[in-house]
Structures are given as C-alpha cells and as structure tokens.
Structure 1
Amino acid sequence: MGDTAAKKYSLKEVEAHKDKKSCWIVIADNVYDVTKFLEEHPGGEEVLLEQAGKDATENFEDVGHSTDARTMMKDYLVGEIIDEEKTNTPEKLKKKWSGDSNDPDNSSSWKTWLIPMALALAASLIFRFFFISKN
C-alpha cells in the first residue's frame, strides 16, 4: 500500500460518493474509487452503483472474484476506513471464517450435508418401496 492507503475515511465520507460521477466502495475496510472502472466492470456498472458509498465486502466475497480482479483493485485504492469504524479487522475476519463450531452463525454448515443426505435416503426408501417390493 502506497501513500494513498494512509488516507483514512469515515463511512459517512464514503457515502457521499455514490453515483456515476464519483463511485467509492469499501471492501475489507479499504476504500476504492471505482468511478473509472464502472464501464469496464464485467458485471456491468449497475452492480458497482448498487454498492456505491457502502461496505461491499460481503457481496464482493459472495461473487468469488478472481485473483486478477483482486490484483486490479490496487489501482483503485484511495485509502482505508478509520479505525473506529472498521468491521473487517483480522480478528473479526478470523472469527468469521474460522468455522468456530461454537459460533451460532455457523449452524448452517451441518445443513449443507445433512439435508441432501436426508433427501437421498428418502428417495432410496421410496424407490425400494415402489419398485423393488413389486417384484
């Protein structure tokens, strides 16, 4: 991070940049001026304008951007969020992504395998009952 990264912005300051003339977004507590990138964005400018002036970290991560996209971000970095308003500090990210089994937000992880297994079991029982028992 160069000299521009040393610049600190509040979320209120970022919020003032939410249109085609000046489009800023926050990703992982870093502030990016993506105004010049609007027309080049592969997903269309609307995607960026929807997130303009706010923290787009979750949406950015949900899309699963490539390494190239993450490298390109450096060109648009203008600073970072002031310390008091940071939400993606390493400690918070570690907790969020650690898979802590005591974390109530992590309760959906068992659903990702249990529900499909239950459906597969039900389908096999139905198949056995209707097709195999008739022979």
Structure 2
Amino acid sequence: MTTEFTREQVAAHSQPGDAFIIIDNVVYDVTAFLDDHPGGAEVLMDNAGRDASDCFHDIGHSQDARDWMLQFRAGEVAAAERREVRVRSAAWAEPGEGDSLRGLLAAWAPPLALSALAALLYLYLFG
C-alpha cells in the first residue's frame, strides 16, 4: 500500500534535514539527495514542502534523472488533494519540428543572415 500525504503534511518537511517535494502528485523525500543534486541543494530547498511539478518540467530533466528520482519516492498526495497532471513535452523535443521547413529555417536563418551581413560588410570595407 502506498503512503499518502496531505499537502499540509508535505509542507511540514521543508528543512535541510527533512525535505519533501511533490512532482505530479508523487511525494519525494529529497533529504539525502540535497548534496548530490546537479543543480545544487538550493534549487531543491526553494521547493521543499511544495509542489515542484512546474519547476521540474520547465527545466527539462532527462530520462536518467526521472529514473534516478524513483529511489526517493516516499508516497503520493492524498486522493482528495491531487491536481491534474498535464502532459508536458520539452519545447526542443516537439515531434517532427526539426524535420519541417519551419524548423530548418528557425535553425539556419540567424547564422545565414549574419554570414550574409558579414560578407557585405567585408565587400564594402575591402572590396
């Protein structure tokens, strides 16, 4: 059986020696992870005792990070207090984005424009 926590109970765990966070209605005890977090302990402590779902997804964590966090799972948010989990995808990982003409232009337009400008400037100054 999974341990359930109210959001108030999670909020009580907001100190460096006792830090819980919520990500997508799952409660994680990140106390032992504070010193190992690649982004630093401060990021976790800024979200300790709170729902860090938006922050977690905004950063765009890798699948390895998602797998690693499973070992810190403490339980889930109580059913009555769960929030809707939105399906998120990183903006840089939109399916098909890189294959379209729009994606190609978005990637190559700035360097090509700068190259053309540099060539014109060179011809004007030295040509």
- For normalisation by structure 2, the TM-score amounts to 0.64
Is the counterpart of residue 19 in structure 1 residue 36 in structure 2? no
Matches of 2:30 and 2:20, distance apart in 1: 6
- Aligned twin of 1:64: 61
Residues 23-61 of structure 1: CA distance to partner in whole angstroms, max 9, x if unpaired? 000011100000000011111100100010111111111
Q: Report the identity percentage.
A: 33
Runs of at least 4 residues of structure 1 off by over 2 A?
A: 62-67, 84-87
RMSD: 3.3
Matches of 2:62 and 2:3, distance apart in 1: 25
Matches of 2:62 and 2:54, distance apart in 1: 12
Residues 45-79 of structure 1: CA distance to partner in whole angstroms, max 9, x if unpaired? 00100010111111111333343x11111110010
Residues matched between the structures, number:
114
Specify which of 79, 82, 85 is matched with residue 85 of structure 1.
Answer: 82
Matches of 1:20 and 1:50, distance apart in 2: 10
- SS at the partner of 1:24? strand
For structure 1, the residue ranges without an aligned partner over 5 or more in a row are 98-112, 120-135
Q: Check conservation: 1:27, 1:56, Cα contact below 8 A.
A: yes
- Aligned twin of 1:36: 32
Q: Check conservation: 1:25, 1:33, Cα contact below 8 A.
A: yes
For structure 2, the residue ranges without an aligned partner over 5 or more in a row are 90-104, 111-127
- SS at the partner of 1:70? helix
TM-aligned CA deviation for residue 19 of structure 1: 1.1
Q: Check conservation: 1:20, 1:49, Cα contact below 8 A.
A: yes
Is the counterpart of residue 10 in structure 1 residue 6 in structure 2? yes
Q: Check conservation: 1:10, 1:85, Cα contact below 8 A.
A: no
Matches of 2:75 and 2:83, distance apart in 1: 12
